[in-house]
Structure 1
Amino acid sequence: MKKFKLIYIFSIFILVLLSCGTKLRKDDTKYIPYNGDEILVFQSNQNELDTIFLTGISKFNACYDPLSLLKPVCEGNSLSCKRSDPNYDRYFTDKSLMSISKIKNETFIGFDINLRYSWFYGKAYMNIENFKNLPNSEMKIGDKIFNDVKIIEADNKYIERDNYVKRFYWSVSHGFLGLDQRNRNWRLLKIIN
């Protein structure tokens, strides 16, 4: 009976240990430089305008596996938005501009970047340490200078597509600043709070 009790307690301990998730720290969430209710207005070098409407910051389970018996919870925060379809003249709702997640004691940052006629197909999901190690660049937009800009380059996957984005610019303190295509560049015109 004592062995059965010990095996039972040990099994419960293992189940609890395996089903425990990983929580984001306050230091991790600083990489979302928005409150979640801003409107980002962009202008292209072809004098086109596009808008991203931020709709909030929501929590999600970054380890979600519907077939798993043990349901680990890995905390993630997603910056939700309403934005243009990169292929058609319409808006998508319930999209995410970026996310931060904690999985097995590692923090990851992910970006889902597109504007009208433009889509970043590259690797935009990385360990936060790799993101921090990207060199800071300086970028001038109008009369404003940003000196903490990370330039995320695309791989050559889907390079033949018309909406292919070569790179995008992300300021650690101000967020999404713009992107470059072959014949079109988009830059942040203003943020409306």
Structure 2
Amino acid sequence: MHKAFLGFCFLALVVATGCTERLPTDHKLNPLAYEAIPYKGGEQLIFQSDSQQLDTIFITGTTTAMVRGGDPFSINPDRFEHLRIDYTTTRKPSEQGLLYLSGSGETYNLRFEFDAGHSRLLLNYDFYKSEYDTIPSTRLRIMDSLYTDVKTLHTEPYYEDRPERILNFYWSTSSGLLGWDTPTDTWRLITIKK
């Protein structure tokens, strides 16, 4: 009886030791990801449409959060650092995210979201950094400024029936948001106030 009890205790100890979950690991964002952020916070981006309407985007700063990820069945999943550029607009004053950065190790992901109330980027897609780099850089002249590092993102085709959709979204890797086209309007950055 005593041997059976000791055997049971030993077996319980082995099972308990094998089932204990390791402590979660915090994965920091690749330091190179911070180079993708063209804003410091506090900027006011003033845009004008071809119909002479104005809209202002206020860059309010960045938000960093540790998000659980990895194995969905893990009791203590690893956590990954995510960073978001926050903004509000004159037409939609609630705070939103413009650019999301996530990932760890040698690479990171970029996701663009934009909603100005009258126009909305409908792009449900995360770009790996290497994939984002393959988007051709083009030139865009706005008034007296020439931008040579412009990436153009396009709304996915299955959103064709949405009138507020953005057809083309222009992002400069060094200057940030330069403008967007909708089915009815063309919006361009006319000034940045810091």
Q: Distance in 2 between matches of 1:67 and 1:115?
A: 38
Q: Distance in 2 between matches of 1:42 and 1:151?
A: 17
Across the two proteins, how many residue pairs are aligned to each other? 183
State whether structure 2 residue 164 is matched by structure 1 residue 158: no
Q: CA deviation at 1:106?
A: 4.0
CA RMSD of aligned residues (A): 2.7
Q: Distance in 1 between matches of 2:180 and 2:134?
A: 20
| Counterpart for residue 23 of structure 1 | 28
Task: Please tell me whether Structure 1 or Structure 2 has the larger radius of gyration of its CA atoms.
Answer: 2
| Counterpart for residue 186 of structure 2 | 185
Task: State, as a whole percentage, how many aligned pairs show the same letter.
Answer: 26
Q: Given that residues 65 and 82 in structure 2 are in contact (C-alpha distance below 8 angstroms), is that contact kept between their aligned partners in structure 1? A: yes
Q: Given that residues 41 and 190 in structure 1 are in contact (C-alpha distance below 8 angstroms), is that contact kept between their aligned partners in structure 2? A: yes
> Deviation per CA, 1:125-166, whole angstroms, max 9, x where unpaired?
211111111111010000100000001111112211211111
> Deviation per CA, 1:67-109, whole angstroms, max 9, x where unpaired?
962142111111111125xxxxx42322111111115764111
The 5-angstrom pairing of residues 114-193 of structure 1 reads 114-193=115-194
* Structure 2 residue matching 1:42: 3-state secondary structure: strand
Unaligned runs of 5+ in 1: 85-89
Q: Distance in 2 between matches of 1:44 and 1:115?
A: 13
Q: Distance in 1 between matches of 2:102 and 2:59?
A: 19
Q: Distance in 2 between matches of 1:181 and 1:95?
A: 20
Q: TM-score, normalised by structure 1?
A: 0.83
Aligned CA distance change for structure 1 residues 70 and 164 (closer, same or farther; 3 Å): same
Q: Which amino acid aligns with 1:134?
A: I
Aligned CA distance change for structure 1 residues 32 and 58 (closer, same or farther; 3 Å): same
| Counterpart for residue 32 of structure 1 | 37
Greater displacement, 91-100 / 30-39: 91-100
Q: Given that residues 178 and 186 in structure 1 are in contact (C-alpha distance below 8 angstroms), is that contact kept between their aligned partners in structure 2? A: yes
Unaligned runs of 5+ in 2: 1-9
Q: TM-score, normalised by structure 2?
A: 0.83
